[in-house]
Structure 1
Amino acid sequence: MSSIAFVGAGPTTLYALKALLRAPVRGVGVTVFEAEAEPGVGSPYRAGWNGPSMLSNIASAEIPPVTETLLAWLQGRADAELRDLGVEAADLSDRTFVPRVALGRYFRDQFERVVDQLRSAGACVDVRAGRRVDDVAIRGEGVELRWSGATGAETGRFDHVVLATGHQWPSKQESRPGYFTSPWPAATLAALPPTKVGVRGSSLTAIDAAIAVAGAHGAFTRGADGRIKYEPAAGTEGLRITLMSRKGLLPEADFYFPLPHPPLTICTPQAIAGVIEAGGVDLLDRAFDLFRREMAAVDPAYVAAVGLQRGDLEAFGEAYFADRMATDPFVWAATNLAEAQANHQTRFTVPWRDALLRLHEVMASITPHLDKVQFDRFSRHLKPVFVDAYGAAPHESVERMLALHRAGKLEVLALGDDHMVDTRRPEGGARLTRRGISRSFPVFIEGTGQRILGAIQFPFLSLIEQGVVRDAGAAQDAESDKVEGARGVEIDDHFSLVADGLTPDRLFCLSLPFILGRHPFAQGLTSSHEMGEIVGRRLAVVAARSAEAAHPPVDRLQAVA
């Protein structure tokens, strides 16, 4: 029978395990390795890694259920547990945004239930928490893993391996005094002194960093008027947080949209598949033309307002952000928040916003087929629009940013392209130089989120040395003299690593930094579900074949003869 190993036990692995249940799994060996003590949680939702005030930006209505919906699970918790998770029972609905740690508790519980279901179905499941996989290598007809834990180093060989290691951050959070390469774990930021704090980024990741720092030096309270206020603690007069990004914009507030989404009619998956099949150097522009026509059909007034009907993707990328960039970010945020809250109350959908949300995944399918020049155009001008649409922030997160600003503790700075950040100062922190003016930050935090990584940064050295892991887009890159950075590693449509001599379905890669080039919008739970489903279904086929080979059907006529 087949043996399957999962490296990493976050939500993506959980959804793959659920999909595996569709196959006859009796006798199949499933081993799950998780470096942390609690499997199933995932780093974006782990306590300690995330502060109790950090909110998820996805509600139960959008989260693909495992054994039950998030809302049903929360409604089944005792009031004391809900309070511990930072959830108010009276506020619960399928559109409520809850703290990240509450999602982590939900996924931990769902992981345990799916493991029980697999065991009940006859699978041999071994969950190895607190075991970090140090290396992976192809050995003959299998994949060898080497891992370490409390009992020292061990090795084992498996027929199929799924690498689902999630985000990858530098091993040392504070790489130099006062300079933090990521906001996680948030517990570290909570210990920072009340000083000038610079955060590179102004999206949800940066907001999480700001909330972690501010929460350690004051409290967010909601008054009788319903407005959130930030009350600084005594002795924190020196605290001032600066979020900085090229455009200097805060994310917009979560907007109302119907579920399920209505189907696209022009820029459909089938139409984009036709564009991809036709190929050509103008692939991106032909796909953008479908995008433009879809937007015009959905919201002609918006298309006319931003000049989308007559402009190219570069012009649209500029026009989309133009009004916001010309307005104070906090003034815009307050106005946008009021609009979003009113639309949620009346269940009104802004057509163009919902269209962008539906279009981003369809348009993403062209990215593996773009050469370097076109990939750069997509990444610089169109991708930020889609990220802005699906990266809308929970209303309470926006309210907290406004409260910090009113308290004189937060500003947002537009850097433009002409600036320099020196993070190697002898005194620590960082110095920002912009337009000939310098500013010093004793604490500086990188808050731009996960970036795409190339093969050389893959965490398992043997796979690099064996040539199993290689940079994506190598063929396209050879035809272009313009190089813009990593595009991840080479995988096929089913997330199998592609290499000479490597059999299909032997080794899957779902590790986020290395698939973002091919799947640029894969940083969410709906993507975790889709990717886990694809790999889980492939493994289900493998398990079924293995079961049939172990117990072939009996030819009864031949047996009687």
Structure 2
Amino acid sequence: MTPSIAFVGAGPTTLYALHALLSQGAVAARITVIEARSSAGAGSPYSAEWNDRAMLSNIASVEIPPVTETLAEWLASRTRSELQALDVDAASLDERSFVPRLALGRYFEDQFAAIVKRARADGVAIEVMTDCRVVDAANTRDGIELTFVSPPSLRATKAVFDHVVLATGHQWPTRQQRRPGYFLSPWPASALADVPATDIGIRGSSLTAIDAAVALAGSHGAFVRRGGKLVYEPAPDAQAFRLTMMSRKGILPEADFYFPLPHAPLEICTPEAVAALAAQDTGQLLDQVFDLFRRELSHVDPDYAAQTGLGEATLETFAQAYFARRAASDPFIWAALNLEEARANHAAKVTVAWRDAILRMHEVVAVIVPHLDAAQFDRFNRVFKPVFVDVYAGVPHESIERMLALHEAGKLEVLALGEDYDIDIRNPQSGADVTIAGRTRHFPVFIEATGQQALAAIQFPFLSLLEQGIVRDEIANDAPDVVRGIAVDEVFRPVDAPLPPDRLFCLALPFLMGRHPFAQGITSSFEMGGIVGRRLALVVEGDKRAPLPAASAA
């Protein structure tokens, strides 16, 4: 009997999983892709339903693993009118250009359609069901039973599949406003369109917060270029419009920096060296890996090592030194200088050695996270992870330009919350009260914009899998309350689950982030989707000669 495979969700992760599966040759399986949105391929980060037209992606063509063509090639084949409709400047396009999120979404939709068309031409039975929402999944004797609804009847329909991949992507609160004026997330961006011109607080200062600020700014004014400089022009009725972005350190992200691709190999903090330390289980893994990190960074950039006291640094003292100068500076002065430096380096193809080294090390270091005890896991998240995130989460140059323009127009400030702060939404007024070091300020509108957070299994969208004990949290004996993500193995199958191997794969991003702290973005979709797609190809071919262990946690 021909096996059946279902993918729940049709964003980039499923796109890359399908590509990996189909790339192994003819697939003797019936494939079904189920997507809640009206189109397949984009996923929520790049869909028209979730994003404002002005929001920029923070990944360029040179970094995006191609499917049938690169993003740059796809853009070059668009007509001028198509590019204008996507707010893409044809004159400035190259492989390192950042484009609007909606443009990237269209690219992924076209790539998805292309591989489906090619698969069908090769004789693969593949069905794509859009506007169809899976509301439950359960293990049965014959396979995974999916329950889904679709318009116009919204009647529940059930179907059983031999293999199911859950790639449901980001998960935001179903009810965006917890109370009047208090938003649990900035998504979908269309929900911010009716926010009035008032004093608006935004928790966060990274790209998610910048996206929220850009969407709000577009509702109450416009960004325009005058003599090559970007300025913000408020609408006549937007005198009361003010934005305050706030984070613990009170800094803006740095502008995207130039780095060569492919990346050069590391010499000291190598995957092999980190794996060897993890295998020793000495109880000092985090500090031992930091020592590799410290030595690598000192090797590639001795001047930076001297400036930050890296030679004698501990993890904590280095993290403090890393952010110290920025945190002590005016965030907009620093942002303007950093933008100038980043632009000059891009033009000259100059790489800042220490930034590039940290970027190269983040995924190598991430593999230790499942091996850390509670105390070390907490240190990693509080101290080490922010350094890596700061480097790899650089933002488009235009995003920094927009923040500078808003500030110069008197419409944006950035506050440091520090550690002694409170956000209170119990005030009978709308919005929230923010208290910093004993001083309270009221925001009639307050938006949580700190990005996707790691979620516990209790928030998993398919209740039956929880009740059956198939999806469960990875629980550490020394910290049962810490979210470590759901328990999966190297190919993202539930660990110790009462079901046959290879029946279910969990690629639901928020439930993996506890163990895979940097598993966000297109490159993660490519890597995780590729792992599952290649595994499915082996399963379909019946190649069980070297199965991966079902109980080994990722």
**TM-score between the two structures when normalised by the length of structure 2:** 0.96
Give deviations 1:20-64, integer Å, cap 9, x for gaps: 113344441111110111111110001141111100011000011
- State the one-letter code of the partner of 1:164: A
Give deviations 1:542-561, integer Å, cap 9, x for gaps: 1222899xxxxxxxxxxxxx
Percentage of identical aligned residues: 60
- State the one-letter code of the partner of 1:347: K
Question: Equivalent residues in 2 for 1:189-208 (5 A)?
Answer: 189-208=192-211
Conserved in 2, the CA contact under 8 Å of 1:7 and 1:161? Answer: yes
1:552 maps to which residue? Answer: none
1:177 maps to which residue? Answer: 180
- State the one-letter code of the partner of 1:530: E
Separation (CA, whole Å) in 2 of partners of 1:263 and 1:547: 33
DSSP 3-state at the match of 1:448: coil
Determine whether 1:77 maps to 2:78.
yes
Conserved in 1, the CA contact under 8 Å of 2:142 and 2:160? Answer: no
Give deviations 1:459-481, integer Å, cap 9, x for gaps: 11111111111112x2xx21x2x
2:315 maps to which residue? Answer: 313
Determine whether 1:443 maps to 2:445.
yes
DSSP 3-state at the match of 1:508: strand
Conserved in 2, the CA contact under 8 Å of 1:420 and 1:433? Answer: yes
1:421 maps to which residue? Answer: 423
Conserved in 2, the CA contact under 8 Å of 1:469 and 1:499? Answer: no
2:213 maps to which residue? Answer: 210
Conserved in 1, the CA contact under 8 Å of 2:473 and 2:484? Answer: yes
Separation (CA, whole Å) in 1 of partners of 2:156 and 2:275: 47
Conserved in 1, the CA contact under 8 Å of 2:51 and 2:187? Answer: yes
Determine whether 1:145 maps to 2:146.
yes
DSSP 3-state at the match of 1:426: coil
DSSP 3-state at the match of 2:542: helix
Separation (CA, whole Å) in 2 of partners of 1:297 and 1:443: 48
- Structure 2 CA distance for partners of 1:546 and 1:265, relative to 1, 3 Å: closer
- Structure 2 CA distance for partners of 1:149 and 1:424, relative to 1, 3 Å: farther
2:549 maps to which residue? Answer: none
Conserved in 2, the CA contact under 8 Å of 1:24 and 1:544? Answer: no
- State the one-letter code of the partner of 2:90: A
DSSP 3-state at the match of 1:373: helix
Separation (CA, whole Å) in 2 of partners of 1:468 and 1:27: 27
Conserved in 1, the CA contact under 8 Å of 2:27 and 2:537? Answer: no
1:256 maps to which residue? Answer: 258
1:223 maps to which residue? Answer: 226
2:534 maps to which residue? Answer: 537
1:492 maps to which residue? Answer: 489
1:557 maps to which residue? Answer: none
Question: Equivalent residues in 2 for 1:235-254 (5 A)?
Answer: 235-254=237-256
Question: Equivalent residues in 2 for 1:477-556 (5 A)?
Answer: 477-478=476-477, 480=478, 482=479, 485-545=482-542
Question: Equivalent residues in 2 for 1:82-121 (5 A)?
Answer: 82-121=83-122
- 1:289 CA displacement: 1.1
Conserved in 2, the CA contact under 8 Å of 1:201 and 1:446? Answer: yes
Question: Equivalent residues in 2 for 1:377-456 (5 A)?
Answer: 377-456=379-458
Conserved in 2, the CA contact under 8 Å of 1:165 and 1:512? Answer: yes
Separation (CA, whole Å) in 1 of partners of 2:428 and 2:168: 35
Conserved in 2, the CA contact under 8 Å of 1:256 and 1:340? Answer: yes
Pick the aligned partner of 2:189 from 180, 186, 191. Answer: 186
DSSP 3-state at the match of 1:309: helix
Give deviations 1:307-362, integer Å, cap 9, x for gaps: 12211111111110000000010010011110111101110000000001100000
Separation (CA, whole Å) in 1 of partners of 2:60 and 2:104: 10
- 1:483 CA displacement: 5.8
Separation (CA, whole Å) in 2 of partners of 1:82 and 1:318: 44
Conserved in 2, the CA contact under 8 Å of 1:376 and 1:484? Answer: no
Unaligned runs of 5+ in 1: 549-561
Separation (CA, whole Å) in 1 of partners of 2:413 and 2:533: 45
- Structure 2 CA distance for partners of 1:487 and 1:149, relative to 1, 3 Å: same
How many residues are treated as equivalent by the alignment? 542
Question: Equivalent residues in 2 for 1:326-405 (5 A)?
Answer: 326-405=328-407
Conserved in 2, the CA contact under 8 Å of 1:147 and 1:155? Answer: yes
Q: In terms of mean alpha carbon deviation, does 446-455 or 425-434 score higher? A: 425-434
1:156 maps to which residue? Answer: 159
Separation (CA, whole Å) in 2 of partners of 1:367 and 1:109: 36
**TM-score between the two structures when normalised by the length of structure 1:** 0.95
1:281 maps to which residue? Answer: 283
Separation (CA, whole Å) in 2 of partners of 1:328 and 1:512: 35
DSSP 3-state at the match of 1:527: helix
Separation (CA, whole Å) in 2 of partners of 1:193 and 1:214: 11
Separation (CA, whole Å) in 1 of partners of 2:263 and 2:543: 39
Question: Equivalent residues in 2 for 1:51-62 (5 A)?
Answer: 51-62=52-63
Conserved in 1, the CA contact under 8 Å of 2:538 and 2:544? Answer: no
Separation (CA, whole Å) in 2 of partners of 1:26 and 1:253: 43
- Structure 2 CA distance for partners of 1:422 and 1:128, relative to 1, 3 Å: same
Give deviations 1:166-208, integer Å, cap 9, x for gaps: 0111101122111111111111112211101000000000000
CA RMSD of aligned residues (A): 1.4
- State the one-letter code of the partner of 1:147: F
Conserved in 1, the CA contact under 8 Å of 2:362 and 2:388? Answer: yes
Separation (CA, whole Å) in 2 of partners of 1:81 and 1:325: 42
- State the one-letter code of the partner of 1:344: H
- State the one-letter code of the partner of 2:303: A
Give deviations 1:459-508, integer Å, cap 9, x for gaps: 11111111111112x2xx21x2x566311110111111113433332211
- State the one-letter code of the partner of 1:155: K
